[in-house]
Structure 1
Amino acid sequence: MIAIALSAVAPGLALLSYFYLRHELEAEPLGYVIRSFVAGAVLVFPIMFIQYAFVEEGVLTGPFWQAYVATALLEEFFKWFMIYYTIYIHKVFDDYYDGILYAVACSLGFATLENFLYLWVYDSLEIAIWRAILPVSGHALFAVVMGYCLGRAKHSARERLWLFMAVFSATVIHGTFDFILILEPNQKLPAVLYIVILWTVALLLVRAANLSNRRQFK
């Protein structure tokens, strides 16, 4: 059980450390990063309850609705809402990369607790490996896209448009990931290839956010 617990928690912490260290300006206060991580974890139970209610009521059960609405939109909206009201509106959120960092922290808090609960039930190291590669890293990558938009929103005259794009873009890429898994539940290769593409996009957005910081705060 200890091995399963470590397998559940380690990927999220490793990914959070990576994105924390990619910030090229001054290090963000760890207290705020941890707050975002915990805030994401808190979302797991209400979201699981809502999703359970959808299943019991037979609502949004088709592959498209399940992937893009019952899962992606629900989870990404609540994460966006939590990020906006716990960190975005505060002065500590002051540069382009902050959106990525705090969105990743919140999303990985959600993914880590969700992963722990899942592995607690299934108790399999093989499943733990696949969940680290797919759902956990996926949540981090969805968050990079959302966070990039949030960072742009903070410094743009079109703030509302960027805030909308933060939810919309994360929902679309998250929903596509889940749609792939629903259509090909026994085939991991399509989902892995999609994650590779998302990693490429995420690294480009990380570079773009840091470049915007260098231009803005040099």
Structure 2
Amino acid sequence: MFILLSVAIAPGLALFSFFYLRNQMATEPRKTLLQSFIYGAILTFPIMFLQYVFKEEQVFQHIIVQDVFFTGVIEEFFKWIFLILVIYHHVEFDDPYDGVLYGAAVSLGFATVENVIYLMSYGMDTAFLRAILPVSSHALFGVVMGYYLGKAKFQSSQASLRYRALALFAPMTLHILYNAIFISQNHWVYYMVPFMLFLWWFSLRKVKQAHKALVQLLIQKAN
């Protein structure tokens, strides 16, 4: 059991450490980040409950609507609404890169619990595949969400609304595309590999842009 839990948790911690250590200009309070991770983990249970109820009640008749659109929409919406209501106005959300960290923390909290549940149910045979696909994709969706929230935080009211909307719809769209590829039965790996490469490129580009915005903000404060 200990080995299984370690294998399930390790990818999330490794990915979060990667994004945390890229922030060399400021140190975000670890307590707040840990709380965000924990809240993301807690979000897993109402999300999975709703998914279970909707599936059992056959609210959506077509598998594409249930497993592609509904899953992508509800998971990203819950993460987004938590970040908006709890983190966005937090006093410690004080630079553009914070959005990346909080978005990644919440998403990886969710992904880690989901990974633990899945590996406990089906064993460790797919642990490596889940580390490079579901866990990493959730992290990258969170990075994209957090990047746009970081942009929104330091914009005028009209621009802020636009970026907050992008913080929801950009990762939601990426998640729906990911789900659509994953459930395709024929040669899905040929579509998933370029998609994941794009997702990493796009997300790391946002990380770089957020870091650049942080440097500019620190220069302005120094002057």
User: Do the two structures share a fold, i.e. TM-score over 0.5?
Assistant: yes
Matches of 1:185 and 1:52, distance apart in 2 = 26
Q: In angstroms, what is the RMSD of aligned CA positions? A: 1.5
Partners of 2:145 and 2:170 within 8 A in 1: yes
- 1:3 and 2:14 equivalent? no
Quote how far apart the aligned CAs of 1:63 are. 4.3
Matches of 1:60 and 1:192, distance apart in 2 = 29
Letter in 1 for 2:192: A
Matches of 1:146 and 1:74, distance apart in 2 = 14
Aligned pairs (5 A) from 1:13-92: 13-92=13-92
Partners of 2:100 and 2:145 within 8 A in 1: yes
- Alpha carbons of structure 1 residues 211 and 61: separation in structure 2 relative to 1, 3 Å: farther
- Alpha carbons of structure 1 residues 199 and 84: separation in structure 2 relative to 1, 3 Å: same
Quote how far apart the aligned CAs of 1:67 are. 4.3
Q: TM-score, normalised by structure 2?
A: 0.93
Partners of 1:4 and 1:128 within 8 A in 2: no
Gaps of 5+ in 2: none
Matches of 1:133 and 1:26, distance apart in 2 = 28
Identity %: 43
Q: Which residue of 2 aligns with 1:105?
A: 105
Letter in 2 for 1:152: K
- 1:190 and 2:191 equivalent? yes
Partners of 1:145 and 1:205 within 8 A in 2: yes
Q: Which residue of 1 aligns with 2:178?
A: 177
Q: Which residue of 1 aligns with 2:205?
A: 204
Number of positions where the alignment pairs a residue of Structure 1 with one of Structure 2 = 217
Q: TM-score, normalised by structure 1?
A: 0.95
SS at match of 1:145: helix
Partners of 2:181 and 2:188 within 8 A in 1: no
Partners of 2:104 and 2:143 within 8 A in 1: yes
Q: Which residue of 1 aligns with 2:133?
A: 134
Letter in 2 for 1:3: I
| Superimposed CA distance per residue, residues 7-54 of structure 1 (whole angstroms, 9 cap, x where no aligned partner) | 100000000111111113211000000010001000111011100111
Q: Which residue of 1 aligns with 2:144?
A: 145
SS at match of 2:7: helix
- Alpha carbons of structure 1 residues 56 and 201: separation in structure 2 relative to 1, 3 Å: same
| Superimposed CA distance per residue, residues 102-160 of structure 1 (whole angstroms, 9 cap, x where no aligned partner) | 00000000000000000000112x30110001000000011111111000000111111
SS at match of 1:188: helix
Matches of 1:99 and 1:36, distance apart in 2 = 12
- Alpha carbons of structure 1 residues 115 and 61: separation in structure 2 relative to 1, 3 Å: farther
